[in-house]
Amino acid sequence: MDEKISNLREEALVKLNEAKNALDVENIRVEYLGKKGLVIEILKNLKNVEASHRKEVGEKANILRVEIENLIEKKMFELKEKEYEEKINSTEKIDITVPVDEKIGSLHPITIVQRELEEIFTSMGFTVEDGNEVETEYNNFEAVNVPKYHPARDMQDTFWLENGELLKTQTSAAQNKIMLKYGAPLKAIFPGRCFRNEALDASHENTFFQMEGMMIDKDVSISNLIYFMKTLLSEIFKKEVEVRLRPGYFPFVEPGFELDIKCPYCDGKGCRVCKNGSWIELCPCGMIHPNVLKLGGIDPEKYSGFAFGLGLSRLAMMKYNINDLRALNSCDLRILKQMNIK
Ligand code: DAH
């Protein structure tokens, strides 16, 4: 048995010495130290060794096992070092000073439109506020005049959390907090991601972006609303746009409107973007309901205000001529290329 162990040792040392790569080393490990490896077999079969030799054979086999383990580790280290050396000395060179001539990325269309809007609004004295994505039922509904059993809730089914909170369905969900935080007078916009439980199609997504705005002061009227919206949209489309208001129902405004713009692409003559309708429905808005002001700690006898909820995703689609809302969340970089966004 002594001789067998010393032969195994010799053999293993030669093989390890000749091993050229990690795979060779692994094969050697399996051959000697694997579950059915030659050294392990000796240890497993100790019971068959004559009792007087058993201890000695066991010790020698164990010493050999540890020796081979250490040699394997050493060999792997040498091989790695060698590989590293070869890489360093190879002809492959990376010149990190070469200028990058490929376009490496761009902002998302929604980000571009959002930043553009923020710039326009801040230049008109509005602050930019943040809203939560996970909201309380109170902020999303009750605080904007949509009590529990109001039918308007049906239009905004969403994703509920186990703790009773929800993914906000509208940026209006931040109105109450902002009023409580700043009081009146107030001029703020708050962009954000919204969620709804929708059947998906080209114009319905479960995740989309809006930008809400509020202006509250003494004597704010519908004329102020029209003025701000007209200025804003003219800046976005880089030309004077015509707007019109139609009555619209939203529980948090009274009166409420749908604001349309005359199609800036065909000047109302009729085209693909306005679906030959000449006008495009762009922004629901209205005069803030007295209940909403009251819940926000603002006296509706002293102050009035307007609010609007611009569809950011919608605006980005118009601006970049995208006809499927789902493209905006698809992470498909070809879409950015197609839109030629710089
Ligand atoms: N929150 C409404 C929605 O998502 C949009 C909206 C309508 C916002 C009228 C407003 C508003 O601030 O005045 O459908």
Higher pLDDT, 273 or 111: 111
pLDDT tens profile 20-39: 998 999 999 999 999 999 99
Average pLDDT on 252-275 reads 91
Query: Ligand 1 centre and the CA of 152: distance in Å?
Result: 12
Query: Ligand 1 centre and the CA of 158: distance in Å?
Result: 16
Q: Which atom of ligand 1 is nearest to the CA of 253?
A: 13
Q: What is the pLDDT of residue 319?
A: 84
Query: Ligand 1 centre and the CA of 308: distance in Å?
Result: 6
pLDDT tens profile 126-159: 999 999 999 999 999 999 999 999 988 888 999 9
Alpha carbons 178 and 159: distance in angstroms, whole number: 24
212: Cβ below 6 Å to ligand 1? yes
286: Cβ below 6 Å to ligand 1? yes
Alpha carbons 114 and 134: distance in angstroms, whole number: 21
Q: What is the pLDDT of residue 342?
A: 56
Q: How confident is the model at residue 214 (pLDDT cuts 50, 70, 90)?
A: very high
In degrees and rounded to multiples of 5, residue 95 shows phi and psi of: -95, 105
Q: What is the pLDDT of residue 334?
A: 77
250: Cβ below 6 Å to ligand 1? yes
- pLDDT for residue 246 is more than 90: yes
213: Cβ below 6 Å to ligand 1? no
253: Cβ below 6 Å to ligand 1? yes
Query: Ligand 1 centre and the CA of 155: distance in Å?
Result: 12
172: Cβ below 6 Å to ligand 1? yes
- In sequence order, which residues have a C-beta less than 8 Å from that of residue 66 and are 6 or more positions away? none
311: Cβ below 6 Å to ligand 1? no
Higher pLDDT, 19 or 92: 19
Percent of the chain that is helix, strand, coil (3-state, to 5):
45, 20, 35
Round the CA-based radius of gyration of the chain to a whole number and report it. 36
- pLDDT for residue 167 is more than 70: yes
Q: Write the residue with the smallest CA distance to atom 3 of ligand 1.
A: 170
Phi-psi region for residue 69, left (φ > 0), alpha (ψ -120 to 50) or beta? alpha
170: Cβ below 6 Å to ligand 1? yes
pLDDT tens profile 46-69: 888 888 888 998 999 999 999 999
Give the number of other Cβ atoms within 10 Å of residue 260's Cβ.
19
Q: Write the residue with the smallest CA distance to atom 4 of ligand 1.
A: 170
Residue 35 CA from chain centroid, whole number = 47
Q: How confident is the model at residue 103 (pLDDT cuts 50, 70, 90)?
A: low
Longest dimension (CA), the chain: 108
